[in-house]
Amino acid sequence: MTAPVPLPDFALEVASPFVAASGLRVDEYDGAHVRGHVDLGPTQHTPWGVVHGGAHCSIVESAASIGGSAAVSGRGQVAVGVHNATDLIRSTTGGRAEVEALPVHQGRTQQLWQVEVRQEGKLLARGNVRLQNVDASHLS
């Protein structure tokens, strides 16, 4: 039997600089749902003063990966992104945005998650992330 993989602390204060720059704060998560928020602003801006699409892509992939990994951690696995298709719907210059991720499919080897980023109820971005379930021992 494979030992469960402990999930890391998802607090921004202990995250890598890249993950911390996205600003995603995870409010709750499990293997079937991730909810969080992000305070968007100038640190994520393009030269034109709007939030960069890459910030949304990073937020979407992080939320999906957290939920996917929670779903398979008991099997000694983690979920890693293999495809991210994020649609950028509406621009913003900043402010609080809510993030919600839900699984569309959770299989033995792969998962598909859908993530929405909303500000005041309006959709800013929506992404689908395909994740590969891999043995944690293969990552070291």
What is the per-residue pLDDT across 90-108, written as a single tens digit (0 to 9) for each? 999 999 999 999 999 999 9
Question: What's the pLDDT band for 114 if we cut at 50, 70, 90?
Answer: very high
Question: What's the pLDDT band for 2 if we cut at 50, 70, 90?
Answer: confident
pTM given for the model: 0.95
Mean pLDDT of 83-92: 98
Report whether 23 contacts 92 (CB < 8 A). no
User: CB neighbours of 13 closer than 8 A, spacing ≥ 6?
Assistant: 20
Assess whether pLDDT exceeds 90 at residue 137.
Answer: no
Say what the pLDDT of residue 68 is. Answer: 98
Closest CA to 64 of 112, 132, 12, 11: 112
Residue 58 region by backbone torsions, left for phi larger than 0, else alpha for psi between -120 and 50, else beta: alpha
Say what the pLDDT of residue 120 is. Answer: 97
Distances (CA, A) of 59 to 107, 115, 136: 23, 9, 22
Count other C-beta atoms under 10 Å from residue 120's C-beta. 10
